[in-house]
Structure 1
Amino acid sequence: MRFIWDLCLILQIYIICSSSAQPIISKLDESWWAYKDVVQGSFVPVPSFWGLVNSAWNLCAIGKRQSPIDIETTHMIFDPHLTPLRLNTGGRKMYGTMYNTGKHVSLRPDKTHLVNISGGPLGYSYRLEEVRLHFGSEDALGSEHLLNGQGFPGEVQLIHYNQDLYANYSEAAKSPHGIAVVSIFIKLSENSNAFLNRMLNRDTITRINYKHDAFLLMGLNIADLYPDTIRYITYEGSITIPPCYETSTWILINKPVYVTQMQMHSLRLLSQNEPYKIFLSMSDNTRPAQPLLQRCIRTNINFNKQGRDCPNNRALRPQYRGEPTTAVKRRAQFRWK
């Protein structure tokens, strides 16, 4: 019965969206979606429905390069041409505003203090637009990406747009080579990463308990967020929220950052609603893993093997060679554990 009821609601939504009611369409494009099915008095589409309720979001259902993915280490291919990622802060600290968006903890840097990345798999310079946190209600459920089927307590995503080709994030998000996302898994420890500690200490995190709450942070050094490694894996994918544009280059750092158990607990106490509404934890704000299909997962972790070509990169780099080794050998190379 619930399935039939949801289908009826979807049919009603299609009728509304196909009408001339432009304000309703705008509302759908902005925020009319959810990560999990909760009773809120009306239907709000969860990930399995994102691509069905709005034609502008159809890539969420039919796209061939969707994110996140399950990173199977046996499918990775060593690319000797992947250089280290370059971070440019201009030698200055930045300030930014931390928001409770109702779906994420989001840190958006001040536009006058530019942070750029380049190098690695990127052919352009990309400007930092947002730092976004994903986290779970349980320690094994919080990351969007998986490693050999395993989740992590959380995932930090540093979202950048191509400043060489596009004027802003909105333009870049729907355009080729538009977005670069640096992703770092979060693990639990007795001590926390210096940058995340600024965001998640009690005096700060309690300022954004409810949706639309915001708090200004000063003197941030984004380099503190990056683990001490030049190793990463990369693949071509999509934005992980509607409209799921397939314009993202993903760079997953081969070492985690750490937060304390208390800081993770504080994240789980954040509400996705305003204070006058029922409390609903923001946790489990993750999209399920999407099929890899014909894409390659490349890495600059050298497995000292020669082997097959990556079909996706033959035209770009005909000299590029690599071969997957056994899962056991590959796991030994990873610093995520």
Structure 2
Amino acid sequence: MTASLFTPYKLNDTLTLSNKILMAPLTRCMADDDLVPTQQIADYYARRAEAGLIISEATIIRADGQGYPNTPGLFTPAQIDGWRVVTDAVHKNGGKIFAQLWHTGRVAHPHFFGGGDVLSSSAQAVEGTVPRMRELVYQTPKAATIEDIKQLVIDYAQAAANAIDAGFDGVEIHGANGYLIDQFLHHDNNRREDEYGQTPENMSRFALEVVDAVIARIGADRTALRVSPGAYFNMAGDSRDRAVFDYLLPEVAKRNLAFLHGGIFDDSMEFDYLGGSISAYLRSVYTGTLVGVGSYTAETGSAAIEANKFDLLAIGRPFIANPDYVAKVRDGEELVAYADTMLTELI
């Protein structure tokens, strides 16, 4: 039932995956106080190196991108050195690993970076408090200026170069799940009236500028993108959003990225303005390699690949509970059930 998962997959002339099972990015909040990955984190990823590709936990591109405690960065020499220990450990065990590049935008909090502005596409606050630090209430962000946006594009590209210096095989730009890039792509948060707002072309501009800048630094073959066409996390949906992604995704396809990755917790969710699930919508408008994710099992994910719903399967929480997930699926062994208590330790 899962045989289709265990054949190699050629992303491009640079990268071939040993199987079609990806480890999805999983925020663990276990970097040290300087946002440097620890030896424990290196051991954690090394134990999961049998995945065709590991996508790292979301990793912030600069200090003001932080919205959760102890999330790793890729903007200081110490952070780059820390990640090099991780990538060396994964490669020693025969694996491949991409860094997921992250700026949380309006979900950031000044507590983490010593004060200053929280940046977003518009001055629209998200309601609520910071996970794991409920005493911190979200702030109303500053609408990024044109100069702010130009600097953000530069910083994404620099973080991508830092990732390659740290030994990563490539990067996935986090453009999903209500974070900074996604905040430009949805009408709920993008209220701009300049060249970054109002029309699909304008609302897609920042995402494409980041993609192009990263490609220019490290190559399209080592660049991937994650998107959430259906707003579902820290964002309200709007039927006008579809036109934005109808424009964006064919433009992304022209860039010949390594892959496009859907951002969704459960792909059985349907969005009326997308005509169904996120993966089905992405397949209908995107022509390149597509990664499916969202509460799939190995069996249901394999069936979806065989049905041409997507090309690669990203597995999340089961990888937390089962470092040997790939071997267990291949050998037909029973999986350990995931429990939220596992989030507080690295196994």
TM-score by length of 2: 0.28
Answer 1 or 2: which has greater strand percent: 1
Structure possessing the higher relative contact order (Cα contacts under 8 Å, 6 or more residues apart): 1
Q: Which has the larger radius of gyration?
A: 1
Larger % of helix: which? 2
| Structure-1-length-normalised TM-score | 0.28
